[in-house]
Structure 1
Amino acid sequence: MAEIVEEARFGKNQKLKDALLQHAPLSKAGLSERLFSLLFTGLVYPQIWEDPDVDMAAMELSSNHAIVTIGSGGCNMLAYLSKSPKSIDVVDLNPHHIALNRLKLAAFRHLPNHNEVVRFLAAQGSKSNGKRFDTHIAGHLDAFTRAHWQKRSLAGRRRVEVFNRSIYRTGLLGRFIGIGHVIARVHGVDLTEMAEMTSLRDQRRFFEERIAPLFDKPLIRFITARKSSLFGLGIPPQQYDELAGLADDGSIAPVLRQRLEKLACHFPLRDNYFAWQAFMRRYPAAHEGNLPTYLKAENYKAIRANTERVTVHHESYTALLGRKDAGSVDRFILLDAQDWMNDKQLNELWSEITRTAAPGARVIFRTAAEKSVIEGRLSQAIADNWTYQEQRSRELNLQDRSAIYGGFHIYVKAA
């Protein structure tokens, strides 16, 4: 019965709405927030777009660390398990992300071997993945998660059958990338040709000659001048304003061009699975490049052995921390969630982070703009507990292969 109640509560998704809606319904800002909230209630991120290797370098993870992180697509949570932390609490306000995180954990626990995990979570066009789910995974899921993936569409197709095709082409972000490919093709550019580039020089030439000119096209400038056009990237109205403020004319097109240039040109293609998802809409084959950290063969045994150390919560970050003991958390991962928060929400969150942080605890997060979003906004009593590692943050931001964000930030609690 409790799981049936949970499913009904997930369906309403009131927690997510409460976090996103800050303005009056009929105001311009309020209407924008409500449109974003409507789009955000479905699956948004089939893949998380924060680089887990940067995260782990910043956190300096060890086996005695207790972690609290936002779930999103679940990839990074699994990558952290390769370092055998003491525990990971995953929180997310989106029920689709909750179901995806629980499914990915179950895949590692119950599929027979590494090849089967890769085939289920990363392969494109693996028609037997629905059967793998039925044989190895479904019976081990909680009632809500099992019902979520077995739910049928109007066409009679079960939701889990998306893994027979490619889950990474679905969700809000996957569809947004697909629309970007269509728009590029309308202008005569096939983005999948990036796969043919064999060096950083080739990648840069392709970007400068084929991709960069797209940002001067009237249609693309018209689209990117509207906040709603970027909701498909998971960028809420608040983040759009941050990005638009970086350009002299208030247009977001130059900022997007800069971020895409980093994605396309700063890292060898075979080492950047984020670029494969953006330009080829798939992961590389073995001869083409490397899979995400959590899917690499060398990490499989550790991740599988450590899946029981993870607990997934449909809950806000602040609420979860409110139930934890003082000094009980070593590492906090906030993704870009603070970009959405007002001052009251930030101080409530950091009050609980400060209370629950163990000596030497670290907080990492990303921001749409370059500047840390908490500077000058926290109460002095909270801020005095934390030291900003500005230089290390800048160094690691340059190494972030996803290239989506303007800033990466590390804060360390005084011992």
Structure 2
Amino acid sequence: MTELAPDAGYGKKNRKLGAALLQHRALSAAGLSERLFGLLFSGLVYPQIWEDPAVDIAAMELKAGHRIAAIGSGGCNMLAYLSMAPAHVDVVDLNPHHVALNRLKLAAFRHLPGHADVVRFLARDGLVTNMRAYDLFIAPNLDRPTRTYWSGRGLDGRRRVSVFNRNLYRTGLLGRFIGLGHLVARLHGVDPREIVACRSMREQRQFFDERLAPLFEWPLIRFLTRRKGSLFGLGIPPQQYDALAASGDGSGIADVLRHRLEKLACHFPLKENYFAWQAFARRYPQPHEGELPVYLQQHRHGTIRDHARHVDVWHESMTTLLSRKPAQSVDRYVLLDAQDWMSDRQLNDLWSEITRTADRDAVVIFRTAAEESVIEGRLSPAIAGEWRADAERAKALGLRDRSAIYGGFHIYRKVA
């Protein structure tokens, strides 16, 4: 695994992220909103990724030997891809906290004794032995900056790695936002955790219709969601808020969010949807309750462990990574929702490098806050002509995405 440069800056001001986010003058309303979001986004945001890796694997038709370039976020997607035995995976992220988390998760697979130990470390809370496992098996095998980050102390004075003794998934910007959502719901007399007692999709539907859906009619919630800053905790920047608002029927963001939450609560059995467990129960299910994420399933452990050494994690943008790679050196690209934030120039710079580095039969997947693809009509004709959208397949797979967060899922294939 490539060691981070000494100036990678875990915990320091993140100029790379700021450069990607800031598109307006500092004293304008849009500029102030971007800077507030940048401040919130500069810490750990996603302890778990909120894109369904099972859908990604199907969309990419991922096979052994493929070379992947992916945005990291919480790292669950990258680890799931390893179960398909790719030749190499390059992971990028502009957030140094995500870089540290991706490196730690990889080291856990490579150096903890077995599958049960990995599950205890990454999926169970309230285990004080996790920090001891870190000290014995993981820390000695981390690159220096990542070891310094996790062994160091956070703002609360405790070692950062001690969060694995408690509940990693209640931390980060998104984890705290979900906690705030639970608090608001309880103030209105609803405990979202009660949904896990449902034993059928019919009961899930009844719980949503009777308990959760009415929350979105309360004046306080409608008032809050009309403000862009109210969704910063979901990792939704100002640009994505505008796209999200445009994706509805004009009745307001609250109704868009209600529709997305309805899919999460009602469209999949709880035992098959660990995203719902994190949203409503704020934990992963126990073995008798439901399935763990793809990368934590026992039958995949050996392949992931064996291929974890084929991953490099970089603190940089996808465009920068690709600019250093040879032509025709990548088979699959995973852009998450990063393009929702980009200007036309940034999009064309990115897709110019994607087109140059794409091998034959290359596939690009990404998600968008709204339903429409953000690249249509924005790429230069020369670049756009190299790719075709597989809209029918993307729509079908988007319906299978259990996280239910995004409005659109998109697949683009290299033109032969």
Give yes or no for TM over 0.5. Answer: yes
- Does residue 36 (structure 1) correspond to residue 37 (structure 2)? The answer is yes
Equivalent in the alignment of 2:361: 360
Matched, 1:345 2:343: no
Q: How does 1:31-70 map to 2 (within 5 A)?
A: 31-70=32-71
What residue is the counterpart of 1:408 in the other structure? 409
Q: 1:22 corresponds to which residue?
A: 23
- Tell me if structure 1 keeps the 8 A contact 2:8–2:315: no
Q: CA offset at residue 124 of structure 1?
A: 1.2
Instruction: Give the Å deviation of 1:9.
Output: 7.2
The answer as to whether partners of 1:169 and 1:178 remain within 8 angstroms in 2 is yes
Which amino acid letter does the alignment assign opposite residue 141 of structure 1?
Answer: L
- Note the 1:258-337 alignment, pairs <5 A: 258-337=259-338
Contact residue 45 and residue 72 of structure 1 kept, 8 A: yes
Could you list the per-position Cα deviations for residues 227-256 of structure 1 after superposition, in whole angstroms to 9, with x for gaps in the alignment?
A: 001000000000000111123446200000
Q: 2:4 & 2:259 partners in 1: Cα distance?
A: 46
The CA deviation string for residues 284-319 of structure 1, in whole angstroms up to 9 with x for no partner, is 000000000000001000000100110000010000
Change (3 A) 1:144 1:376: same
- Residues 326 and 188 (structure 1), Cα distance of their counterparts in 2 relative to 1, 3 Å cut: same
TM-fit CA distance, 1:155? 4.4
1:220 aligns to what? 221
Q: 1:155 to 1:22 in 2, by over 3 A?
A: closer
Q: Structure 1 residues 324 and 3 mapped into 2: Cα distance closer, same or farther (>3 Å)? A: closer
| Alpha-carbon shift at residue 283 of structure 1 (Å) | 0.2
Residue identity opposite 2:357 in structure 1: T
Deviation by residue 1:163-201 (Cα, 9 ceiling, x = unmatched)? 000100000000000000000000000000011001100
Tell me, what secondary structure is at the counterpart of 1:138? helix
Residue 81 of structure 1 aligns to which amino acid in structure 2?
A: L
Alignment of 1:202-217 (within 5 A): 202-217=203-218
CA distance change for structure 1 residues 226 and 143 in 2, over 3 Å: closer, same or farther? same
What corresponds to 1:369 in structure 2? 370
1:351 match: secondary structure: helix
> Could you tell me how far apart the structure 2 residues matched to 1:157 and 1:9 are?
16
Q: Hey, what does 1:71 align to over in structure 2? A: 72
Give the Cα–Cα distance (whole angstroms) in 2 for the partners of residues 243 and 40 of structure 1.
19
Distance 1:310 1:395 in 2: 30
Q: How does 1:81-120 map to 2 (within 5 A)?
A: 81-120=82-121
Q: Size of the alignment, in residue pairs?
A: 414
Task: Name the Cα RMSD after superposition.
Answer: 1.1
Q: Could you tell which deviates more after superposition, 405-414 or 148-157?
A: 148-157
Cα 1:4–1:10, aligned 2, differ >3 Å: closer, same or farther?
farther
Contact conserved, 1:361 with 1:412, CA < 8 A, in 2? yes
Q: Cα distance 1:341–1:229, how it changes in 2: closer, same or farther (>3 A)?
A: same
Kept in 1: contact 2:10–2:96 (CA 8 A): no
Checking the alignment, whether the CA contact within 8 Å between 1:361 and 1:413 is kept in structure 2 is yes
SS in 1 for 2:91: strand
For residues 332-359 of structure 1, the C-alpha deviation after alignment (integer angstroms, 9 at most, x for no partner) is: 0000000000100000000000000001
Contact 2:185 2:191 in 1 (8 A): yes
- Tell me how far 1:64 sits from its aligned partner: 2.0
| 3-state secondary structure, aligned to 2:333 | strand
CA distance in 2, matches of 1:306, 1:167: 25
Instruction: Give the Cα–Cα distance (whole angstroms) in 2 for the partners of residues 365 and 91 of structure 1.
Output: 15
One-letter code of the match for 1:389? D
Closer, same or farther in 2 for the Cα pair 1:339/1:155, shift >3 Å?
Answer: closer
Cα 1:321–1:7 change in 2 (3 A) is closer
- After superposition, give the CA deviation of every residue in 1:76-101 in whole Å (9 maximum; x if it has no partner): 10000000011000000000000000
Shift in Å, 1:152: 1.3
**Alignment match, 1:395:** 396
Q: Take 1:248 and 1:197, find their aligned partners in 2: how far apart are those partners?
A: 31
From the superposition, tell whether residues 193 and 10 of structure 1 become closer, same or farther in structure 2 (CA, over 3 Å): closer
> In the aligned structure 1, how far is the partner of 2:140 from the partner of 2:17?
29
- Alpha carbons of structure 1 residues 77 and 8: separation in structure 2 relative to 1, 3 Å: closer
Alignment correspondent of 2:151 = 150
Superposition deviation, residue 6 in structure 1? 2.4
8 Å Cα contact 2:6-2:145 kept in structure 1? no
Q: Name structure 2 gaps, 5 residues minimum.
A: none
Closer, same or farther in 2 for the Cα pair 1:369/1:102, shift >3 Å? same
SS of 1:183's partner is: helix
Letter in 2 for 1:346: L
Q: 2:127 corresponds to which residue?
A: 126
Does the 8 Å contact 2:10/2:145 carry over to 1? Answer: no
Aligned residue type for 2:175: G
**What are the ranges of 5 or more consecutive residues in structure 1 without an aligned counterpart?**
none
The C-alpha deviation readout for 1:49-83, integer Å capped at 9, x for no partner, is 00000000000011121000000000010000000
The code of the aligned residue for 2:44 comes to L
Structure 2: which amino acid aligns with 1:365? Answer: F
**How far off its partner does 1:7 sit?**
4.4
147-156 or 339-348, which deviates more? 147-156
Check whether the contact 2:245–2:252 (CA below 8 A) recurs between aligned residues. Answer: yes
Residues 6 and 144 of structure 1 are in contact (CA less than 8 Å); yes or no, is this contact kept in structure 2?
no
Mean Cα deviation higher: 3-12 or 131-140: 3-12
Partner of 1:186: 187
User: Helix, strand or coil: the match of 2:399?
Assistant: helix
Structure 1 residue 153: deviation in Å?
3.2
- The alpha-carbon deviation at position 154 of structure 1 amounts to 4.9
Q: TM-score, normalised by structure 1?
A: 0.98
Distance 2:108 2:262 in 1: 35
Contact in 1 for aligned 2:71/2:335 (Cα 8 Å)? yes
Q: Kindly, what percent of the aligned residue pairs are identical?
A: 66
Secondary structure at 1:11 match in 2? coil
Write the distance in 2 (CA, Å) between the matches of 1:317 and 1:246. Answer: 27
Conservation of the 8 A alpha-carbon contact between 1:369 and 1:405: yes
CA distance in structure 1 between the aligned counterparts of 2:307 and 2:159, rounded to whole angstroms: 29
Q: For 2:248 and 2:408, locate their aligned partners in 1 and report how far apart those are by CA, in whole Å.
A: 16
